[in-house]
Amino acid sequence: MRATIVAAAAALAALALAALAPGASGGTKPGCPAAWLAGWQHLADKIQAPVYCPRWMPNPLDAKIGGQYEDIYSIGKDRSYLVSFLEHGDLGSGDVHVNFRGYPGRTTIPKCQTIALEGVKTIHGVTNCFADPAGTKKAPGITATVYRVNQDADQWHILLAWRYNHSLYTVSEHVIPPYTYQQVVQNLQRLLQSLVLVRPQG
């Protein structure tokens, strides 16, 4: 009798875990969180291309566009976008900074302007915005390259870049306390696993 009860309890626990796991409900991920969906849907409609909404963000951030943590919301003439979320830590506790980018209709890494000082001379140059690849991270439907040297708003960030539907997408996080390098890598892996597509409507 005891063995039967234990087996039944174990089966119920397994079913509960399966229901909570990503990909449950017939293999479909839960969608963009309701509190965040409107902003990501508006972005997808604005650029007329799919965007990736996260279902998880590193503490204390959320991914509500227009919310208290939004830092940058920028859409270029080419429909590329940068959506950034930032929390400045109090009393020197550090920052948490995550960027999302998309480049509809292009898969090549963009170029960034560089400025270097040589004595009193200022040298202007151009380089890949994402560089120093260091392996890959995977999530369902995504194989992302890890880049460790990045420019512009992604400077000092670890960045993941992948291609979908003839477009380039990225997510990055600043390596700065309270998170260590390894914790940032773990955060990015979890972010990647949490991403869901939001497609334009109409």
Nearest Cα neighbor of 150 from 121, 123, 127, 119 is 127
Torsion, Cα of 126, 132, 133, 135 (10° steps): -170
Residues pairing with 162 in the sheet:
169
pLDDT digits (tens, 9 = 90+) for 114-124: 776 666 776 66
Question: Within the chain, which residues score under 50 in pLDDT?
Answer: 1-27
Task: Please give the pLDDT value at position 127.
Answer: 93
Task: Please give the pLDDT value at position 29.
Answer: 64
Task: Please give the pLDDT value at position 94.
Answer: 75
In whole angstroms, give the CA distance from residue 64 to residue 187: 18
Any idea what DSSP says for residue 42? H
Task: Please give the pLDDT value at position 93.
Answer: 63
* pTM greater than 0.85 (yes/no): no
Phi-psi region of 190 (alpha: psi -120 to 50; beta: other; left: phi over 0): alpha
